[in-house]
Structure 1
């Protein structure tokens, strides 16, 4: 469905090896983000009309089965990545039932981690926050943890700083659309989780823990405690683990939707050339990775580094 458009932003088509970007090709794209509620319902997203200066759309978390529904005349598409959008459902389910649904290894591992933290000499405590004034307090306590997390140091995705974000947290809390949890040891904050609501789903927005306490798995234990509260509360239907995959998401989720991030571009020579170049580069990187895993090539690589 096409609707009057909003604002486009400059998005780069990146030539990447792992997390490292070698160079990029800029394109002016309108971002269309599919919510979890829409993805679960299999609802075709509303795609706005393009302004004359725009190159196309970046549609994120589009259910793979709907790709054909959004591609219109004059456009071509390219899949940037495929993944399962994991989520946990709270409807008609109790915490103990969710816990029983984990694999045996995951369940025993979680109980072992919970026991280890509960018996820690410094004394572990978990606090939850949901009111506007509580959100301001949570932010002040969690930011020192965010500063040392790998999310902030490597990706710039720790809990945001500044009065604007605190105001947003307070506003969402005033609408009962935010939840937060903090873990402390000996009065010192070591892990946090902050979530905002979109529709019927609570979203996995910002999470982190102090790496000095990684061996205690504070993030996993904190998330399980948050789930226990959310199952009891029954305010939200689902917990949205958002885009991307990971062991923690797979373990804690009850369901998932096969999704893609889709580039939907004007069918021009320049756009096709840009996408083709990125896809060819990605294929070359994949081939190089597979070759590097072969013993003969690994030996040659080691010899080359020593030369």
Structure 2
């Protein structure tokens, strides 16, 4: 990804996805300028550049725009259709707090839950938690081989095509970043077998929470949470990076572990063609239906039905 002014920009065939949770039901291809702000830009309230569109381009996909900048970007995109895709808090962890300071900042429930999960993992492992860190190019190559074994069993790879990439290009990128001291990997082992991985490239002083997964056969031990906590502790003790960026989107573990966050939105800015209007109209109706479904899922009597629909 190339950094050009404010926000990383790529022109790619970018599908507009109709999703239930993380599962894509339908995707409509579009050629979009992807403009993604990093955490530093988000916290600074940066306004991203929107370069002129080429004739073959359909518009922009803006990711992690600081929410207070929505009106300014909408004015800058005059003549385009502005579609709010999602609103969320972009969470991060301040690694300079140190382990004890970070633990003290957790809620009592989060701290107690983490300790219970760590205790169960230690008991399953024969008395200790085995988390190993990988930093150099050679270490990251070994990490990749072991993590691929875990990734192949994850739902991210089987259902979402979002596991740890197996191709040589991704491995070379990992090794190049490691040679610049800009990558970290962590593996959680249970009785000598890797059962969870976390890969974090780095941008400046920020680790980016990028690729993670665990063997579903050990899901009852909460390996992802245990590994994340161990990775945070290792990064805090290393004192090389100042923050871990949980990137776009929300999740229970992000909310529980974060020390701060900033309100963000993701936008689609599309040319006002008939085809784009039809797609965005359908997407709007679909998103409204999903919102109704989420509210229905909160009703105990309807929860089994909504869960079956999500798994269908």
Say whether the fold is shared (TM-score over 0.5).
yes
| 2:257 counterpart residue number | 252
Q: Distance in 2 between matches of 1:98 and 1:45?
A: 32
Q: Distance in 2 between matches of 1:89 and 1:254?
A: 6
The 1:283/1:100 distance shift into structure 2, 3 A limit, reads: same
Residue 203 of structure 2 is aligned to residue 193 of structure 1: no
Matches within 5 A, 1:1-307: 8-71=11-74, 72=76, 73-91=78-96, 93-122=97-126, 124-287=129-292, 290=295
Indicate the larger mover: 55-64 or 274-283: 274-283
Indicate the larger mover: 224-233 or 17-26: 17-26
Structure 1, residues 256-291: CA drift from partner, whole Å, max 9, x if none? 111111011224444334322321232244446656
Q: Distance in 2 between matches of 1:205 and 1:186?
A: 26
Indicate the larger mover: 249-258 or 111-120: 111-120
Q: Distance in 1 between matches of 2:267 and 2:305?
A: 38
**Distance apart, 1:240 and its partner CA:** 0.7
Bigger radius of gyration, 1 or 2?
Answer: 1
The 1:294/1:145 distance shift into structure 2, 3 A limit, reads: closer
The 1:52/1:189 distance shift into structure 2, 3 A limit, reads: same
Indicate the larger mover: 234-243 or 260-269: 260-269
Q: Is the 8 A contact 1:8 1:28 kept in 2?
A: yes
Q: Is the 8 A contact 1:86 1:257 kept in 2?
A: yes
The 1:256/1:160 distance shift into structure 2, 3 A limit, reads: same
Q: TM-score, normalised by structure 1?
A: 0.87
Q: TM-score, normalised by structure 2?
A: 0.86
Structure 1 gap ranges (5+):
302-307
Q: Distance in 2 between matches of 1:289 and 1:230?
A: 36
Structure 2 gap ranges (5+):
307-312
